[in-house]
Amino acid sequence: QLVESGGGLVQPGGSLTLSCAASGFGLDRHTIGWFRQAPGQGREGVSCIRGGGVETIYAHAVNGRFKISRDTAANTMYLQMNNLKPEDTAVYYCAADRVTYTPVCSAFFEEGLSKYWGQGTQVTISP
């Protein structure tokens, strides 16, 4: 199970940190990441850390502004979001792979890969 927290309403240029606590499995052995879905649009991958930490990637739109991290002791992942823009407004979902191998991030972003999902948290960027 993945439980998210930390969404909200912030002004452009502001910051938010999303948290995603896992239970029932250890995040350190899984490829994990964040997705978002804006109104009227499909879900897109935002950031990913491959299991074992050998690969970390960001979508072009957030590169340099967002940072993904994982706290193994707390079994929690985070998404630190800085310099937020109105186009970052979306429901954000955390996810972890649900397969018997360690997928690379490009595969993790594919809709067909089995994943555990968080419940989603709304992030709204508005003056």
What is the three-state SS of 23-75? Answer: CCCCHHHCCEEEEEECCCCCEEEEEEECCCCCCEEECCCCCCCEEEEEECCCC
Q: What is the pLDDT of residue 8?
A: 96
Question: What end-to-end distance do the CA atoms of the chain give, in Å?
Answer: 34
| pLDDT 10s digits, 67-120 | 999 999 999 999 999 999 999 999 999 999 998 888 999 999 998 999 999 999
| pLDDT 10s digits, 16-65 | 999 999 999 999 889 999 999 999 999 999 999 998 878 999 999 999 99
Which residue is associated with the tokens 């995603």? 20
Q: What is the pLDDT of residue 11?
A: 97
Per-residue tokens: 124: 């709204």
Q: H/E element holding 90?
A: strand 90-97
